A and B are shown apart, each in its own frame.
Chain A
Amino acid sequence: MLPFKPALLWTDLLMFVLVLALLAVTWHIRRREHLAAPWRKVAMSRAGMASATLLALFAGIGLLDSLHYRPALPDEPVAAASKAAAETRYAVELRSVLDLLLDPLPSQVETTYSAPLATRAFNKTVIEGDEGTQRDYPRLRYGGAHLADDRGGVAADVAGRALSGALGGLAAGLGALALLALLLSPRRALERVLAWVTGNGHDAVHWAAWTLLGVTTLGGVLAALASGYHVFGTDKVGQDVLYQILKSIRTALVIGTLTTLVTLPFGVVLGIAAGYFRGWIDDLIQYLYTTLNSIPGVLLIAAAVLMTQVYMDTHPESFETVTARADFRLLFLCLILGITSWTGLARLLRGETLKLRELEYVQAAQAFGVSSWSILGRHILPNVMHIVLIALVMDFSGLVLAEAVLSYVGVGVDPSMISFGTMINSARLEMAREPMVWWALAAAFVFMFVLVLAANLFADAVRDALDPRTRVRGVA
């Protein structure tokens, strides 16, 4: 009789498989000097480390949001009487660990729009008061509800909360740094933290530490304010915008990472095979990717998503919950995005393999009678791995941006799924209102910008470290 029932969505499963794979690759690389060397160069890059810290925080939020469960419904009185026989029933609605941590934010729903940090609603309604009925801006149910006087005391209350939140966040950040230092070297932990914060020694780590402190301080401010207000306001149905932003992060991460899971096998296997075997295999694979490339990407995605929609509408019985349904569409979107985007990687790998197969060590392996597949796996693949890795990190930011556009076109994620795209799409309709409802739009754009910028900077650092061409130029 658990108080909850774990629920595993397909995308959750794949996300955790991806994390495991990432850990395995890291372990593999750490033990091999020639593979670890370029990554140490990433660790020396200031922008690279700062953006990696940001990305890690985003990933943390996304992973917490990927642990889903169904909470148990409270026992009905009748059922409680004969509870030996009664089974615990679980809610149809899925919740995630992130929802649990953010509690009560998800349930603090107002009636409709309210501005950031507002205590009163955005629209006038009829209020029944002591002096009869009048039209006024009603007080919000949750935003600033703790204040007795919401006209005068807001600024002081906000400032006080922000200050204590900032201090708390800073302390939490320092605490996290101390914990990390303790894990790394228990004896000289204090010295390490000091070096990180003051920048005495390792420049890039200093940047990462400051990024972390900056984010935790900001996070502290947001958390302190969110306990009494809607920091970024509420949307049309009264849902808190900050909560939606945090939920959007998972969707963006899923699209950005799971798509590469689809791209990889196609791109790597077909690209290398085309370059190595040449002849009719090359012709066939080239034909395949020219054909796929010639179809405009958006239209192929649109066609495929429309078709899934038809499938989902004709087979409603296959989906237990609304979330599972939205999740199926998300997974399918990743699949189709992957199918449209492996061609670039395959073309790059084909070109590189064409060069590699003429090199002496490959020729020697062929002369010794090593089988083609062993040559591909042991001689070609390790030597094109840097291209694969660079392509992977470069693709991520583009995919996050693409999600927003696709959701606008109407072929992105399910409308019931919170994402940057659906947020922008619903907020866009409010542009014409006077005065304008700008907060949801602004918040979505700012967070998307930070995520994409961090991804772009990290990708640049990885490319600079891994690409042999830039390595040579760096020396010269």
Chain B
Amino acid sequence: MITYIIRRLLYAIPILIGVNLITFALFFVVNTPEDMARMALGMKRVTPEAIERWKAERGYDKPLLYNAQKDGPRKFTETIFVEKSAAMFAFDFGQADDGRDIASEIRTRAGPSLAIALPVFVVGLVTMISVALLMVFFRATYVDTSGVVLCVALMSISALFYIIAGQYLVAKVWRLVPISGYSGSWDALRFLMLPVVIGVVSGIGAGARWYRTLFLEEINREYVRTARAKGLSELQVLFRHVLRNGLIPILTASVAAIPLLFMGSLLTESFFGIPGLGSYTIDAINHQDFGVVRSMVFLGSVLYIVGLVLTDISYTWADPRVRLE
């Protein structure tokens, strides 16, 4: 299994190189640093000196791929590609436009992001599966049909509506929790409750319906018939057999998402003023801070690949027949 994991991680390298090349092409070749400088400094009446200064401050004043003015290996290392793009492999993300170090910013902001994303993920998963099992238990009755109708209605509502309506009702009209904000200690619980509940509710429609389809596919299998034939109650059948056999698709859908929880949620964090990576990203997009956006793209890809490997490992835990070789 160790060799398998190592091979998978090696396989990740070409993918990360690909991501790196795509971001390099998008950020430096399609539009040159010159264009970015013009955009950052305002379109009109920009002196060439101001552009040069802007580029020099950020280290964008070097050639893209080949620096003819240097000698030896520095012809290749003192270029934008190596210093800005390839350096990300060493998790050296450089500085944001406000002068702060992106890597340390990511470290401090991952905590608050996780404080929201992890409860949403865990509580959400449990709720979705419970609701789905409930619908399957009452399958082909009015409980099931109305449950499905409700799910379709819930998933047709915009995520923005859940946040805006929830914030308005709970925080503004009923004044149960503060509208937005965050604190480092246990006090944060106050701030986190509402976003977590909203996160769970907004995901429930699509999730519960998906798991319901999944369990319904299992329910007509022969092992289920055997389980019923030997006299197990329907609840035992559902929890001990159907749920257990449905684990593989559940894991496929959920484990890959776990590492990405670090990235936080763009919408929730910006609406509730939580200083996580999601709001960091959204601020960077709004301020057109390309360095931060590039770093987040790279970080997201790394986490995605970690998720893929974790998914494979979780299969062996869920189903002993699976061997990773």
Contacts and interface: CB of A to CB of B under 8 A. Distances in A.
A295 B297 contact: yes
A291 interface: yes
Given A294-B304, A313-B43, A405-B160, A306 B285 contact: yes
Say what secondary structure dominates the interface of chain B: helix
Contacts of B294: 303
A404 B220 contact: no
A352 B15 CA distance: 25
B14 interface: yes
A296 B266 CA distance: 12
A413 to B, nearest CB: 15
A307 B27 contact: yes
Interface stretch (B124-132, B149-157, B316-324): B149-157
Contact of B160 (A294, A299, A404, A457): A404
Interface stretch (B31-39, B51-59, B95-103, B190-198): B31-39
Nearest to B302: A294
Contact of B266 (A294, A404, A409, A460): A409
A349 interface: no
A290 B308 CA distance: 10
A445 B158 contact: yes
Given A310-B31, A411-B285, A457 B152 contact: yes
A306 B158 contact: no
A114 interface: no
Number of chain A interface residues as a range: 35 or more
A456 B149 CA distance: 11
B10 interface: no
B296 A310 contact: no
Contacts of B14: 287
Interface in A278-321: 287, 290-291, 293-296, 298-300, 302-304, 306-307, 309-311, 313-314
A441 interface: yes
Interface in A400-445: 401, 404-405, 408-411, 420, 424, 428, 431, 436, 441, 445
Interface residues of B, number: 48
Contacts of A277: none
A436 B282 CA distance: 26
Interface stretch (B16-24, B75-83, B221-229, B233-241): B16-24
Contacts of B2: none
B290 A299 contact: no
Nearest to B304: A294
Nearest to B15: A291
Contact of B156 (A287, A431, A456): A456
A299 B290 CA distance: 11
Given A287-B14, A302-B285, A306-B288, A404 B260 contact: no
Contacts of A309: 39
B209 to A, nearest CB: 10
A299 B285 CA distance: 9
A256 to B, nearest CB: 13
B301 interface: yes
B136 to A, nearest CB: 14
Contacts of B300: 294-296, 299
A459 to B, nearest CB: 10
Interface in B262-289: 263, 266-267, 281-282, 285-286, 288
Contacts of B296: 296, 299
A302 B292 CA distance: 12
A448 B164 CA distance: 15
A326 B35 CA distance: 20
A457 B152 CA distance: 8
Nearest to B298: A295
A453 interface: yes
Contacts of B164: 424, 428, 431, 441
Contacts of B30: 307, 311
Given A303-B27, A303-B293, A431-B168, A456 B19 contact: no
Nearest to B289: A306
Contact of B159 (A304, A405, A428): A405
A296 B39 contact: no
A404 B297 contact: no
A204 interface: no
Contacts of B64: none
B15 A290 contact: yes
A278 B36 CA distance: 42
Contact of B152 (A294, A441, A453): A453
A424 B167 CA distance: 15
A10 interface: no
A452 interface: yes
B9 interface: no
A137 interface: no
Contact of B293 (A299, A397, A449): A299
A457 B285 CA distance: 35
B220 A405 contact: no
Interface of A: 287, 290-291, 293-296, 298-300, 302-304, 306-307, 309-311, 313-314, 397, 401, 404-405, 408-411, 420, 424, 428, 431, 436, 441, 445, 448-449, 452-453, 456-457, 460, 469, 473, 476
15 contacts: A291-B15, A294-B301, A295-B300, A295-B301, A306-B293, A311-B31, A313-B38, A314-B38, A405-B160, A410-B286, A411-B285, A424-B160, A431-B167, A453-B152, A476-B220
- Smallest CB-CB A-B distances: 8 pairs: A296-B300, A291-B18, A453-B156, A294-B304, A294-B301, A452-B156, A310-B31, A302-B285
Interface of B: 14-15, 18-19, 22-23, 26-27, 30-31, 35-36, 38-39, 43, 152-153, 155-161, 164, 167-168, 172, 217, 220, 260, 263, 266-267, 281-282, 285-286, 288, 290, 293-294, 296-297, 300-301, 304-305
Given A310-B39, A411-B285, A431-B172, 18 more contacts: A287-B14, A290-B15, A294-B19, A295-B301, A303-B294, A306-B285, A306-B288, A306-B290, A310-B36, A311-B30, A314-B35, A401-B159, A424-B158, A445-B160, A445-B161, A456-B156, A457-B152, A473-B220
